Every structure is written in C-alpha cells, then in structure tokens.
C-alpha cells in the first residue's frame, strides 16, 4: 500500500495538520493508499519553496532544462507499469487505458523538453536609426496547478512539463480521489534530479482552502486548472484580486455528426472509442451523436452491438474495457440523465441499468447504454453526462446538424464522420469548438493545442501554443544615442 507525504522543497513532509486521508479503489471500495492532508499552511510552505527555486531554475540554460525533462520522460517510461497499475487502483480505468495514459502523459515531458530550446524572441524594425526593438519571452514565475481525477497523470504532466520548460516553478494540487499517481510522478521528478522547489505537490481534501491559499498569494503569478465549469468560474472570480494569469480547461458537451456517406462500421468504431473511453468520464468524450435520418436505424444498431460487447468490471481484470464510475454522485447523475431521457420518449437500445459485475466489485458500475431518438429538451443533450451513455438524435440537413451541435454554452471538442472532403472542410470550419476530429474520435496528443472555446475554457495545453501560457512577452526598447 502506497503512503505519500507532501512534496515540498525537494522533501517529503508530513502535512502540518499531521493527518492523512485514505484513497479508495472505485472498483471495490478497498483502501489502496494514503496521502497527506495538506492545508493553507502547507500551501504557504510550498509557495515559499517554489519562489526560492525560481531565480535559479529560470536562469538555467534551455539545454539544461531540456535535459532534465528528458530524464523525467525516461523515468516515467521505466516505471510505466507501476504508474499504470496505481492509476487503475485509484481511478478505476482499465489497465490498458492506464498504460496509454502513462505514455500520453510522459510525451508532454519529451515534447516540451524539445520545445524548451525553441523559446524564440523577435526583433522589430524601429522608426528611428537610433533605436532597436527587442521582444523577449520570459517565464511568468511561480505557477499553481489544480487538476481533476479523470486523467491522474496526464492532467499533471500537461501543465508541469510546459511550465518547467519555460523556466517556471510550480505548486500542484491533484484531485482528492487520485493523489497517489501525482505523488508517484513527484517521486520520479525527484529521482530525475529536478532541483528542490521546482515542483511541489500539496495533496488534501480541503480543495477550497488549498485553492484559496494559492489564489490569494500574489507570488503565484498564474493558475492553470482543469475541472468543472462551475469550479473554473469560481476560481476565475477569485483570481481577479491578484490579476493572475489563467488557463482553464473546463467541461465539454461534444457532439459527433455522422453523415449519410459515412463508412458506418468505421464511424461506429470511432464513436465507440470516443464515447466509452474511461467509462465516458473525459471532457472530450462524445456526449451526443447526430446522425443523418437515412442511416439512423442501421447506425444505431451497430453502435448498440458494439456497446453490448464491451466488458465492464474492475480495470485490473483481464479483458475489461469499462471500469467503474468514480463515485455515487457520478452514478446518480448518469441514472438521472437516462431516466429523464426515457421519461421523455427515448428508446433504450442497450444498457440503461447499474451493474454488479461480481460479489467483490461493489463500485459504481453502469451498463454501456445507447439511447435512440433523444431530443434537445433532454438532459443527455443539454449537460455533460460524464458516463457511458450514448444518445442518438437524427437530423435532415447539414445546416440543422450544425445548429444542433453549436447550440450549447460549451466548445471543447466536436467530431464528424464523412467521406465528402468539401463537407468535412465546411463543417469543421463552422463548428464552434477548440478541437475538431474529422473521422477521428481520439484527437488528443502532446504536440497539438488542446483547449476550448466559449465556456469550455481559456488557453491551450499541448503543442507549440501550450508553452506560451507560461511565458510573458517583454518588449525592450533600446536607444543607441
């Protein structure tokens, strides 16, 4: 059983409260480990450490920072299986998916290790022969990260890697459900030789107290958050007092548009992967499918067959493709969304009930569910379900499909399936989303800019753009007289 303290200033410390909290396996509710219960006093210590480390870290050469990030990548690769198993234990996702996440998470260290060497400035022609205009890009300083439970490794590395590459230091607060994976990553960073205080981890159950302490501290120049839109808005309001820079990756409401010319089997494979990955608990998961009316019945039948074949259970068991939902609250939401849809006339093609795969598996399991003939009035089409439920809604025209897809306050990911190139271009340009998958249900990758429009957030993570979030632009005007 893993037991971790807080990682502050390069050391593992007890929380100042002296207490720890249990981390539960969502598949069977057994205790899988313990983490230190940090509070505002610990945040203060961590910010002290990050502020002390900043001057030296930011002055290191890009090559040195790059080398350290490469070592962290190697460290993650060496301990890939251990990280994946721990992630499945505390989060529930199937082991195969957890291994995929470790690779995805590690890729951010590799990619940003390389990008660290390409933080270029600019020179701009001046209006006078006696002047020079230089544009420098410099690290913003101490940063804070608050992360969710659905990707316990990748949501940390997607923030830490560009921050460190840019020359920033960081204090991170992982979700209370999944602190152990975050602590294991801190251990790997320590082993790689990251200088003390460059990365600090404060685990705890008092999310608001920890968040408030990070936000109130004017030494913290930037907050990067991934989580619910509701919490994101609260943090945004509170960040106003110190005018912190913000990156927010919030909720999604992803539509998947399937046109009449689609290869239905291939489209169903993409939709199934996009919908049921992580039991539907990702912010880019397909939340609603819009299908051309001429192929509705046939396509729905294929999707129902695929959903029925998915094996549900403890993510550590062989062959399991869908793990448990994270907790009772998540299960209640899924159940209420399905009930609301059925009450308003949707047909259940498969699933629609909670599940107990075996005596030992006492977690919150739910059958992969396909609902046909859902409408805009139903909660499944209005809110992010965050569970294994796939609503199908027929459309007549491209215009109607686009209107349905864009009719939401969210704008994170959207998908379409068609073999018509002109349509693919037209539709992808008109979707009000930060990420569009054309014949691709799994677009996330370290080298691409990930992020949302509208109420899905601010800023981008990943890609060349991701490092800009951790850099200030400084303009230096030089007089030569």
Question: Which of the residues are catalytic?
Answer: 249, 283
Specify the stretch interacting with ligand ADP by CB under 6 A; choose among 228-236, 240-248, 253-261, 451-459. Answer: 228-236
Residue 382 is a binding residue for ligand ADP (CB under 6 A) = no
Residue 383 is a binding residue for ligand ADP (CB under 6 A) = no
Q: Which is nearer to ligand ADP, 234 or 382 (CB)?
A: 234
Q: Which is nearer to ligand ADP, 211 or 357 (CB)?
A: 211
Rounded least distance, CB 428 to ligand ADP, Å: 28
Residue 227 is a binding residue for ligand ADP (CB under 6 A) = yes
Collapse the DSSP code of 418 into the 3-class scheme (helix H, G, I; strand E, B; otherwise coil) and give the result. coil
- The DSSP secondary structure of 242-308, one letter per residue, reads GT-EEEEE----EEEEE-TTS-HHHHHHHHHHHHHGGGG-STTSEEEEEEEGGGHHHHHHHHHHHHH
Q: Which is nearer to ligand ADP, 38 or 75 (CB)?
A: 38
Rounded least distance, CB 142 to ligand ADP, Å: 17
User: If DSSP states are collapsed to H, E and C, what string results for 100-148?
Assistant: HHHHHHHHHHHHHHHHHHHCCCEEECCCCCCEEEEEEEEECCEEEEECC
Residue 43 is a binding residue for ligand ADP (CB under 6 A) = no
Q: Please report, for the chain, how many H helices and E strands are present, in that order.
A: 15, 25
Q: Which of 156, 168, 186, 231 binds ligand ADP (CB under 6 A)?
A: 231
Rounded least distance, CB 219 to ligand ADP, Å: 18
Residue 148 is a binding residue for ligand ADP (CB under 6 A) = yes
Q: Which is nearer to ligand ADP, 153 or 405 (CB)?
A: 153
Pairing between β-strand 435-438 and β-strand 365-366 as defined by DSSP bridges: unpaired
Which DSSP symbol is given to 438? E
Collapse the DSSP code of 54 into the 3-class scheme (helix H, G, I; strand E, B; otherwise coil) and give the result. helix
Which DSSP symbol is given to 194? P
Q: Which is nearer to ligand ADP, 234 or 428 (CB)?
A: 234
Q: Are 432 and 410 in contact (CB under 8 A)?
A: no
265-304 footprint of ligand ADP as x/- string (CB under 6 A): ----------------------------------------
Rounded least distance, CB 231 to ligand ADP, Å: 3
Rounded least distance, CB 71 to ligand ADP, Å: 27
Which DSSP symbol is given to 408? S
Q: Which is nearer to ligand ADP, 227 or 315 (CB)?
A: 227
Rounded least distance, CB 140 to ligand ADP, Å: 20
Rounded least distance, CB 211 to ligand ADP, Å: 2
Which DSSP symbol is given to 23? E
Rounded least distance, CB 275 to ligand ADP, Å: 18
Residue 175 is a binding residue for ligand ADP (CB under 6 A) = yes
Q: Which of 14, 176, 187, 432 binds ligand ADP (CB under 6 A)?
A: 176
Q: Which is nearer to ligand ADP, 74 or 209 (CB)?
A: 209
Q: Are 249 and 145 in contact (CB under 8 A)?
A: no
Specify the stretch interacting with ligand ADP by CB under 6 A; choose among 130-138, 204-212, 338-346, 356-364. Answer: 204-212
Q: Which of 113, 211, 255, 441 binds ligand ADP (CB under 6 A)?
A: 211
Pairing between β-strand 354-355 and β-strand 365-366 as defined by DSSP bridges: antiparallel
Residues that bind ligand ADP (rule: CB under 6 A) add up to a total of 13
Q: Which is nearer to ligand ADP, 211 or 437 (CB)?
A: 211
Enclosing H/E stretch for 80? helix 80-91
Enclosing H/E stretch for 216? helix 207-216
Which residues lie below 8 Å from residue 113, measured CB to CB, with a gap of 6+?
A: 65, 66, 67, 68, 69, 70, 73, 161, 165
Q: Which of 102, 106, 146, 202 binds ligand ADP (CB under 6 A)?
A: 146
Q: Which of 56, 64, 208, 332 binds ligand ADP (CB under 6 A)?
A: 208
By Cβ distance, which residue is nearest to ligand ADP? 211
Which DSSP symbol is given to 384? -
Strand order in the sheet with 254-258: 347-350, 369-372, 389-395, 286-292, 254-258, 413-417, 435-438
How far apart, in whole angstroms, are the C-alpha atoms of residue 256 and residue 382?
Answer: 14
Residue 234 is a binding residue for ligand ADP (CB under 6 A) = yes
Residue 147 is a binding residue for ligand ADP (CB under 6 A) = yes
Rounded least distance, CB 307 to ligand ADP, Å: 24
Range 282-285 contact pairs with CB under 8 angstroms and sequence separation of 24 or more: 282/150, 282/151, 283/150, 283/226, 283/249, 283/250, 283/251, 283/252, 283/384, 283/412, 283/413, 283/456, 284/252, 284/254, 284/412, 284/413, 284/435, 284/443, 284/444, 285/252, 285/254, 285/386
Residue 228 is a binding residue for ligand ADP (CB under 6 A) = yes
Residue 241 is a binding residue for ligand ADP (CB under 6 A) = no
Q: Which is nearer to ligand ADP, 40 or 346 (CB)?
A: 40
Residue 143 is a binding residue for ligand ADP (CB under 6 A) = no
The binding site for ligand ADP (CB under 6 A) comprises 146-148, 173, 175-176, 207-208, 211, 227-228, 231, 234
């Amino acid at each position: 059983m893993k037991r971790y303290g807080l990682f502050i200033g390069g050391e593992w410390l007890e929380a100042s409260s002296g207490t720890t909290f249990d981390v539960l396996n969502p598949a069977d509710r057994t205790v899988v480990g313990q983490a230190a219960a940090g509070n505002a006093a610990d945040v203060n210590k961590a910010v002290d450490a990050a502020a002390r480390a900043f001057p030296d870290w930011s002055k290191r050469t890009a090559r040195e920072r790059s080398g350290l990030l490469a070592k962290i990548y190697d460290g993650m690769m060496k301990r890939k299986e251990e990280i994946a198993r721990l992630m499945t234990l505390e989060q529930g996702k199937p082991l195969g998916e957890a291994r995929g996440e470790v690779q995805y998470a590690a890729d951010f260290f590799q990619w940003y290790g390389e990008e660290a060497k390409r933080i270029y400035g600019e020179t701009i022609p001046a209006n006078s022969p006696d002047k020079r205009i230089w544009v420098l890009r410099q690290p913003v300083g101490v940063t804070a990260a608050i992360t969710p439970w659905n990707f316990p490794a990748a949501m940390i590395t997607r923030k830490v890697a560009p921050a460190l590459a840019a020359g920033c230091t960081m204090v991170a607060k992982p979700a209370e459900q999944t602190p152990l994976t975050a602590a294991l990553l801190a251990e790997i960073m320590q082993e790689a030789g990251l200088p003390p205080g460059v990365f600090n981890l404060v685990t705890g159950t008092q999310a608001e107290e920890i968040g408030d302490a990070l936000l109130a501290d004017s030494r913290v120049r930037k907050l990067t958050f991934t989580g619910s839109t509701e919490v994101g808005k609260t943090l945004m309001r509170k960040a106003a007092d110190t005018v912190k820079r913000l990156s927010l990756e919030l909720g999604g409401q992803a539509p998947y548009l399937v046109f009449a010319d689609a290869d239905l089997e291939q489209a169903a494979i993409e939709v199934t992967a996009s919908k049921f990955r992580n039991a539907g608990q990702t912010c880019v998961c397909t939340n609603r499918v819009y299908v051309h009316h001429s192929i509705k019945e046939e396509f729905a039948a294929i999707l129902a067959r695929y959903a029925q074949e998915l094996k549900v259970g403890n993510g550590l068991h062989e062959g399991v493709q869908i793990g448990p939902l994270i907790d009772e609250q998540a299960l209640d939401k899924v159940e209420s969304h399905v009930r609301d849809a059925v009450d308003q006339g949707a047909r259940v093609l498969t699933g629609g009930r909670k599940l107990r795969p075996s005596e030992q598996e006492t977690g919150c399991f739910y059958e992969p569910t396909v609902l046909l003939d859902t409408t805009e009035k139903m909660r499944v089409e209005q809110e992010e379900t965050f569970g294994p439920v796939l609503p199908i809604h027929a459309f007549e025209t491209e215009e109607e499909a686009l209107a349905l897809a864009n009719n939401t306050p969210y704008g994170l990911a959207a998908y379409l399936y068609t073999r018509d190139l002109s349509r693919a271009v037209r539709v992808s340009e008109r979707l009000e989303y930060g990420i569009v998958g054309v014949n691709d249900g799994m677009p996330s990758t370290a080298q691409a800019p990930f992020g949302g429009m509208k109420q899905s957030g601010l800023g981008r993570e990943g890609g060349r753009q991701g490092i800009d979030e951790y850099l200030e632009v400084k303009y230096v005007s030089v007089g030569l007289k």
